[in-house]
Copies of this chain bind each other. A is one copy, B any other.
Amino acid sequence: MSRIMSLRHAILGFLSTTPLSGYDLRKAMDASVQHFWPADQAQIYRTLTRLVAEGLVDVQEVDGDTRQRKLHFATAAGLAELDDWLRTIHPVEDSREPFLIKMFFGGCIGAADVCALLLARRGEAEALRATFQGIAASIPESGDLNTVLRRATLLSGLRHVEAEILWIDETLEALK
């Protein structure tokens, strides 16, 4: 899919501030970037292994007080790679929207059934909007750069669901 391999860089991003285990990483990602980069657990471990093989990440096996785990650190090369990737201006990647395929061929099932699809999607979008609004409300509107950026990534999701809801209503109107 993505020629861009962002999981690598997301991992490097997390490891740039704190050493983490694969398990920690998964939790951290689920708690922060999940809405724009859902991460598969197996994929995290595989990518981590690969990053180590490439010398961008170092491992340190810790079997101290708790059970055995592998702490991962970004190396200097890893930090350089992250910095480089962050500064590079990549072209907008094209997205795949299965729902629009359905819309496009909606003529096969008729306007009424298309409206049903739109209404179902509207419900999901509203739920998502509420979730985003809730999280956004918990992040201060201004503050340090990281806070502003964290809030911005959330607002991106929010603005897009809002647009989606408006589009659904507009389309529903056009179908009447």
Name the CB-closest residue of B to A32.
Answer: B104
Structural contact, A86 and B98, CB atoms closer than 8 A: no
A96 at the interface (CB under 8 A from B): yes
Structural contact, B91 and A37, CB atoms closer than 8 A: no
Listed stretches A19-27, A46-54, A55-63, A112-120; interface member: A112-120
Main secondary structure of the interface of A (DSSP, over half): helix
Cβ contact of A175, chosen from B33, B85, B107, B148, cutoff 8 A: B148
Cβ contact of A2, chosen from B13, B86, B98, cutoff 8 A: B98
Q: Which residues of B contact A16 (CB under 8 A)?
A: 105, 108
Structural contact, A107 and B156, CB atoms closer than 8 A: no
Structural contact, B109 and A153, CB atoms closer than 8 A: no
A135 at the interface (CB under 8 A from B): no
Q: How many copies of this chain sit in the oligomeric assembly?
A: 2
A130 at the interface (CB under 8 A from B): no
Cβ contact of A104, chosen from B13, B38, B155, cutoff 8 A: B13
Residues of A within 8 A of B (CB): 1-2, 4, 6, 9-10, 13, 16, 32-33, 35-38, 82-83, 85-87, 89-111, 113-114, 116-117, 120-121, 124-125, 128, 141-142, 145-146, 148-153, 155-156, 159-160, 162-164, 166-167, 170-171, 174-175
Give me the 5 closest cross-chain CB pairs, A-B, nearest first: A163-B163, A13-B105, A6-B98, A36-B97, A36-B100
